[in-house]
Amino acid sequence: MDKLKLRGISKAYGNNLVVDKLNLTLRAGEFVSLLGPSGCGKTTTLRMIAGFVVPTAGTIELDGRQLSSQYESLPPEKRRMSMIFQSYALWPNMTVEQNVAFGLKMRKVPKDEARKRVAEILDIVHLTPLAKRYPNELSGGQQQRVSLARALVVKPEVMLLDEPLSNLDANLREEMRTEIRKLHNEFGITSIYVTHDQAEAMTTSDRIAIMSEGRIEQIDDPLTLYNRPKTRYVAEFIGRSNILDGKANGAGVSFAGFDVPAARLNGGRIATDIFSLRSQNIGLHAAKPANGESIVLPGSILERSFLGETWDYALQVGNGDLKLRVTSPPSNVFAVGQNVFVEIDPNNIVPIQDDQAA
Amino acid sequence: MAELSAPISEETTRPFGIAAARARQFLTPTAVVSLILALILIFLVANPLLQLVKESLTNAKTGDYTFANYVAAFARPRYVQAFINSLQLGACVAILAGLIGVPLAWAVSRTDMPCRNLVHGMVIGSFLIPPFVGAIGWILLGGPNAGWINRIYIAVTGASAGPFNIFTFYGLVLVISLYVFPLVYVFSKSALDLVSTEMEEAAAILGSGPASTTLRITLPLILPAILGSLFIVFLEVLGLYGTAALIAIPAGFNVVTTQLAAFFENPVRVEVAAAFSMPLILITVILLGAQRLMLARKGYVTVSGKGGHRSLMQLGFFRWVMLAYAVLVGTLSVGAPMYIILQSAFTKAWVKGLAADNLTLNNFYQALVGQPSIRQSLVNTFHYAFWAATICTVLGFAIAYISRRRLLPFASVLSAITLAPFAVPGIVLAICFYAAYAPPPFSLYGLGALIVIAFVTRFLPIAFVNSNSAIQGLHPELEEAVRIAGGSQGRAVWEVVLPVLKMSLLGSWLLIFVIGTRELSTAMFLSGPQTRVISVLTIEMSEQGQYEILSAIAVLLLVVTGIVVAIGTKIVGRDFMLRRT
């Protein structure tokens, strides 16, 4: 069932188009991330859903009822949503308990029930002993939990998360993102999560929308997004990719130094002439491997850097028309200048579009 | 979900939708509040200023437009001389205040001078003394014959007459400087506090000694702040009435403010006063603009971010020299004048000193009980200051909130109007209000309300600036969190913004209350017989030579000020009095 629907939503400040005819539909209980670099319009999109920003075109609907259009925008306090802010936005003049109870008070929940629900949610986020504290007496992680509890306790129609982990240090961030996913599994609240951190989006989301310049480039589940990027932008934004130029002819595609028959390529219909090849999906060998299904080409190492968990190699293939970046495990050591063999599974060569999807 | 509106079908209802949405947009509670605020600001600021300009261009008898008032105001050499005197006075005071304020600020902020906190307290003390009280103290100290300095000199040397006369141009320069130098001190010190020690250390590592580092690195860095503060001092002097009236008039020369006051003596010539005050506003606007430009040069003063360590400059023996200088300044501005006032307050005749048969409490009795007019003006003073502080704080907060949160498209206009009184000297503001609201249809002359609204206008910029910086420190997400939780904008203000900012707002209230109790120039032309305030009374009583009762009144005023400031320091924090600019 469709819960939240954004139809052709746009926001312009003067001549500056921040969000550009964006379409997005969330099913009930779905967790979707808006992922992109700063300035891509993801936060503006979120704030339009929250009702803080009025769109200049398009509509936003919740359960089939219109919330926002350029003519009318239901104020945030009437949308029955909740939001986790980047700064947590805990009210410093209220205790943890009062912070969490505030939304219930606004929704006129009877006092007894409110007390019960606050106690329950504080227990779930392990904050019961700190209920009487003020926010400035809590650590960053604890504040984040209060903020989660405050958002969840009202059982919102939609929960909005605006880069909620960006103020935490790395360890805590990993812990909290699993916590967020766990809470989502438990409560099943339709959620939109804005972030610029791939790992956060990957671990928490059912689907990820990659945004660029106010538009969604691609929206898919994390695995598809990684294995089957549709555009050059997505291929380069998620993970590391080699972008290959190829010429399609009747029989297949010819790249610099090798050809791939049409039947071997993934996706079948080849409408473009650029392709993505993940740097992790390229094998490197000192001796020529047995020539199975894969394409094997000779090459030599140009540069290398050791990143701790992986090697990052730059190499040239064949006569030098083709340069590739390859990510290899730490045990796979080659010297600069060494001759190697490159192994490519054609199935990993993904056709992509050069321009943004309209 | 019942309150969710039904979807609007674009094709059929769009025109109606637009009209309805527009109407709703303009009739929100925010818009109504804002409209009311705009009307209040027109009443408080825009109209009085316009009336001043109009008055200066109007023939008082016929009501025709004329330039004759300007001719009347500037044709006589005597009047022009008053302007020249004011400019000279301003320049001399700026120099002397700089010589007092900058070294003290440097010594307290950057060096190992002993008793730095005490010296800081002394400067704040001289800030808290109303200028006219300081001037009374100095009349008792430095009068040509009866003044204590001359009497001691005669007693010690056996000379027939003392050398010192406060009733001179340079006497006036000294007395004013002793009570405005804290402005220079405060600006310089806050700039010095921001200069990173690392910059000085960088100079030291390259071979620069302490003196050379101070002169070549530290002082140039804070130069814009110092110059800015000197401009402010200059403007303060230009608009200062009390000290000038107490000293310049007996000394036999006029400055702009005393000349303006003269235009208000019978026959009252408001239109000439209005014309005469125009150059004053012009100079103020130009200097404030110049100060803005200087301070706007970003990156000049570098904030050292995370504080880091600050090492103090070791002065060696010289630190005692600095301390001696600070003690001298403290004696001249606080110690000696306050001692003399305290002594006079408890004596029958101030010239006789603390002889046993000269002691009395009658002065306090007279001030509080014996003379109803004095008691009345004491009550008036605190009454008006209370209401001015309250109205200012509420208005200042409301305007600052609306403009900070951009709740209105023309919010920046609101804040600009709110800040406009900064550029109008108090005495000119008094003329504005006299011109705008003394005559019918308002006929407010002689009512306390006229003084209160004039005070509100005068202090509104302070309240606004204070609220503005407090709101600036408040993350907007705190309010958005209220909205998304189901509370309205008003609810967010009531449940979060006000509780969080209550200390700041209280500090702003106390500050305005304190400066409201001593405001003289704005009250000057607006006080009727029933609405006199202490500051105005002081000038009158000084003319009559009633220094003993006057001293008792000054002591009362200082005690109340002291109590209010102590409360403020206790609950709001040290230095809340300094948040004027």
User: What is the amino acid identity at position A99?
Assistant: N
DSSP annotation of A354 reads: S
How high is the pLDDT of residue B196? 72
- Phi first, then psi, for residue A320 (nearest 5°) are 105, 0
Q: Report domain A234-352's class.
A: mainly beta
How high is the pLDDT of residue A9? 94
| 8 A C-beta contact, residue B45 and residue B457 | yes
The C-alpha of B542 sits at a distance from chain A's nearest C-alpha, in angstroms, of: 51
DSSP secondary structure of A291-316: -SSSEEEEEEEEEEEE-SS-EEEEEE
Least CB–CB distance from A82: residue in B17, B484, B491: B484
| 8 A C-beta contact, residue B336 and residue B137 | yes
Under CATH, which architecture does the A2-227 domain have?
3-Layer(aba) Sandwich (3.40)
Digit-coded pLDDT (tens) for B263-285:
888 788 888 888 888 888 888 88
Chain B nearest-CA residue for A70: B18
Chain A residue numbers with beta carbons less than 8 Å from the beta carbon of B482 are 77, 91, 102
Least CB–CB distance from B484: residue in A50, A86, A87: A50
Interface of B with A (CB under 8 A): 1, 3-8, 10, 14, 17-18, 21, 475, 477-478, 480-488, 491, 495-496, 499-500
Tell which residue, A309, A313, A303, A253, has the closest CA to residue A283. A313
User: What is the amino acid identity at position B13?
Assistant: T
- Phi first, then psi, for residue B580 (nearest 5°) are -80, -35
The C-alpha of B473 sits at a distance from chain A's nearest C-alpha, in angstroms, of: 13
Span B297-301, average pLDDT? 51
How high is the pLDDT of residue B10? 37
Span B317-330, average pLDDT? 90
Report residue B308's pLDDT band, with 50, 70 and 90 as the boundaries. Answer: very low
Reported ipTM:
0.81
The C-alpha of A87 sits at a distance from chain B's nearest C-alpha, in angstroms, of: 7
Span B320-339, average pLDDT? 91
Question: What's the whole-number average pLDDT of chain B?
Answer: 82
In total, the C-beta contacts within 8 angstroms joining chain A to chain B are 98
Residue pointed to by tokens 């130009």: B286
Chain B residue numbers with beta carbons less than 8 Å from the beta carbon of A167 are none
Residue pointed to by tokens 């006589």: B76
Q: How many CA atoms lie within 13 A of B117 on its CB side?
A: 1
Chain A nearest-CA residue for B18: A71
Is B485–A106 a contact, with Cβ atoms under 8 angstroms apart? yes
Where along chain A do the CATH 2.40.50.100 domains lie? 234-352
Q: Using CB atoms within 10 Å of the CB of residue A67, give its burial: 0 to 12 exposed, 13 to 18 middle, 19+ buried.
A: buried
Tell which residue, B567, B568, B497, B516, has the closest CA to residue B391. B516
Query: Which carries the bigger pLDDT value, residue B446 or residue B395?
Result: B395
Tell which residue, A274, A216, A214, A196, has the closest CA to residue A40. A214
Is B481–A91 a contact, with Cβ atoms under 8 angstroms apart? yes
Where along chain A do the CATH 3.40.50.300 domains lie? 2-227
Digit-coded pLDDT (tens) for B525-566:
888 888 888 888 888 888 887 888 888 888 988 888 888 888
Cα A178 from chain centre: 15
Distance (Å, whole) CA A124 – CA B575: 45
- Phi first, then psi, for residue B304 (nearest 5°) are -85, 25
Span B366-390, average pLDDT? 88
- One digit per residue, the tens of pLDDT, for chain A of length 358 reads 789 999 999 999 988 999 999 999 999 999 999 999 988 999 999 999 999 999 999 999 999 899 999 888 888 888 999 999 988 889 998 999 999 999 999 989 999 999 999 999 999 889 999 999 999 999 888 999 999 999 999 999 999 999 988 888 888 888 888 889 988 998 889 999 999 988 899 989 999 999 999 999 999 999 999 888 888 889 888 888 888 888 877 777 888 878 887 777 765 556 667 888 888 888 888 888 876 778 888 889 999 999 888 999 999 887 777 889 999 999 889 999 889 999 888 888 888 887 644 3
The C-alpha of A103 sits at a distance from chain B's nearest C-alpha, in angstroms, of: 5
| 8 A C-beta contact, residue B173 and residue B96 | yes
Least CB–CB distance from A66: residue in B5, B14, B475: B5
In this model, does residue B413 exceed pLDDT 90?
no
Span B29-54, average pLDDT? 84
Chain B residue numbers with beta carbons less than 8 Å from the beta carbon of A46 are none
Least CB–CB distance from A66: residue in B3, B8, B486: B8
The C-alpha of B505 sits at a distance from chain A's nearest C-alpha, in angstroms, of: 15
Residue pointed to by tokens 């010190």: B189
Distance (Å, whole) CA B450 – CA B446: 8
Report residue B576's pLDDT band, with 50, 70 and 90 as the boundaries. Answer: low
Tell which residue, B80, B511, B52, has the closest CA to residue B259. B80
Least CB–CB distance from A72: residue in B5, B480, B499: B5
Contacts 24+ apart (CB under 8 A), B249-256: B250/B167, B251/B167, B251/B168, B251/B169, B251/B171, B251/B172, B253/B81, B253/B85, B253/B169, B254/B78, B254/B81, B254/B82, B254/B85, B255/B82, B255/B85, B255/B86, B255/B89, B256/B82, B256/B83, B256/B85, B256/B86, B256/B280
Run of H or E residues at B29: helix B29-41
Is B486–A92 a contact, with Cβ atoms under 8 angstroms apart? no
Tell which residue, A192, A114, A63, A190, has the closest CA to residue B1. A63
Chain B residue numbers with beta carbons less than 8 Å from the beta carbon of A150 are 481, 485
DSSP annotation of A58 reads: E
